[in-house]
Amino acid sequence: MNEQNEELFCQSCGIRIKSSDEQGTEKDGSKSPHYCSYCYMRGEFLQADITVNEMIELSAVKANKINVMPYDEAKKLNSVVIPGLKRWRE
């Protein structure tokens, strides 16, 4: 994924990108250093019109569904983390 083995986190939804297969792609097909494949492909956001509040909700629902953490806990964490990510600061 990268030479220094640093953890990457999607700068749109906040998930940890565990492998290069989970990285989104730029227009030229190269791997995005910022976004996951669930949010970003071929240089474009897959949900271009989603708001930060909708992303907070969507991520909390997904975290609960895949048993990462309970919905309420995920929503509280996402409400702090997601607004500070690159996509939402620009």
Q: What is the pLDDT of residue 3?
A: 45
With respect to residue 3, please indicate whether it lies within any of the assigned structural domains: no
With respect to residue 78, please indicate whether it lies within any of the assigned structural domains: yes
Could you tell me the CA-to-CA distances from 51 to 4, 22, 23 in Å, in that order? Answer: 33, 22, 21
The domain of 76 spans 8-89
With respect to residue 12, please indicate whether it lies within any of the assigned structural domains: yes
Q: How many domains does the chain have?
A: 1
With respect to residue 2, please indicate whether it lies within any of the assigned structural domains: no
Q: What is the pLDDT of residue 2?
A: 45
Q: What is the pLDDT of residue 4?
A: 45
φ, ψ at 47 (rounded to 5°): -120, 75
With respect to residue 63, please indicate whether it lies within any of the assigned structural domains: yes
With respect to residue 18, please indicate whether it lies within any of the assigned structural domains: yes
Compute mean pLDDT per 10 residues along the chain, 90 residues long, and list them: 66 94 96 96 97 96 93 97 95
Q: What is the pLDDT of residue 90?
A: 80
Angle 72-48-83 from CA coordinates, rounded to 5°: 40
With respect to residue 1, please indicate whether it lies within any of the assigned structural domains: no
